[in-house]
Structure 1
């Protein structure tokens, strides 16, 4: 049962774990776009812009939403775009494997932080890999792959 004592964990999840998972996801998209020669813009959060660090823009409500956009890839192939679209989930899966490996080897002790991290990473991956349209211009990552394979679209829907 959820009670007042659980509020600490709730705020830890909302303000630390979910933004970290989101940044890992978007970093996966950015990494593959960078590998294939795309120019990247990586926005963390929503609302008023606070500051920029290179191609990374940080906004006031940092835990709300994040997205990665890229311009034309130098290596413009379907495979490159598929890897960019799936890069977020690949990075999330890699972070799950890393955390579990560090726990299994005894480098990290099992802790609710890591449980929440893995739980919300799987949650994030599920919605990225579920083929759906959040709006006309915002397909899920898997829907973007579907559109690319079926219609040849290579628009950047990475958010």
Structure 2
């Protein structure tokens, strides 16, 4: 049964663990952007009004509510590179789930509700990113973006949490 103590655990997990899971997911996208020569990379944590930024991170008012990452150009651009970029978040979530479970199994980490919630939120992030669907905003999930990419039906090369900025010099001379 969900009691008062469970409420506080969920509250802390939602406002602390879920943002960490989001950062891991977005780092996966940017890892592959960097491997394939992406430029002008930026991570946006949350939604709403911008609170502050540092280095290549921007923190928004609702920091616990998802996020996104942006980049401008890719040096090595192909369907394979785009596929790795789109699936990079899910790959990093899957790897983090595996690492936590292995560390618990070999007794480096103690099993706890916090690790359980980390794995739970990581699995949710992984699932919703690869499930092939359009979000209410009209943007595709990462999995849908990959399907569209391989069917030659994808023009924008952006998904719900990954935004490929157009070359602004061409549009604004």
* Residues 33 and 73, structure 1, Cα contact 8 Å, conserved in 2: yes
Deviation at 1:135, TM superposition (A): 3.9
Tell me which residue corresponds to 2:135: 134
Aligned counterparts, 1:57-72, within 5 A: 57-72=58-73
Tell me which residue corresponds to 2:4: 4
> Where in structure 1 do 4 or more consecutive aligned residues deviate above 3 Å?
none
Q: 1:55 to 1:25 in 2, by over 3 A?
A: same
Deviation at 1:136, TM superposition (A): 6.1
RMSD of aligned Cα (Å) = 1.4
Counterparts of 1:136 and 1:78, CA distance in 2 = 24
Counterparts of 1:92 and 1:27, CA distance in 2 = 10
Aligned counterparts, 1:35-74, within 5 A: 35-39=35-39, 40-74=41-75
Tell me which residue corresponds to 1:25: 25
Write out per-residue CA displacement over residues 46-104 of structure 1, whole angstroms, 9 at most, x where no aligned residue. Answer: 12212212221111211012111222211011111000000000000110111011111
Counterparts of 1:142 and 1:124, CA distance in 2 = 12
Counterparts of 1:137 and 1:26, CA distance in 2 = 20
Counterparts of 1:49 and 1:143, CA distance in 2 = 29
* Residues 70 and 156, structure 1, Cα contact 8 Å, conserved in 2: no
SS of residue matched to 2:62: strand
The farther-off stretch of 73-82 and 134-143 is 134-143
Counterparts of 2:158 and 2:35, CA distance in 1 = 16
Could you tell me which runs of 5 or more consecutive residues in structure 1 were left unpaired when the two chains were aligned.
Answer: none
Could you tell me which runs of 5 or more consecutive residues in structure 2 were left unpaired when the two chains were aligned.
Answer: 162-173
Tell me which residue corresponds to 1:155: 157
TM-score, normalised to structure 2's length? 0.87
* Residues 49 and 59, structure 1, Cα contact 8 Å, conserved in 2: yes
Tell me which residue corresponds to 1:100: 101
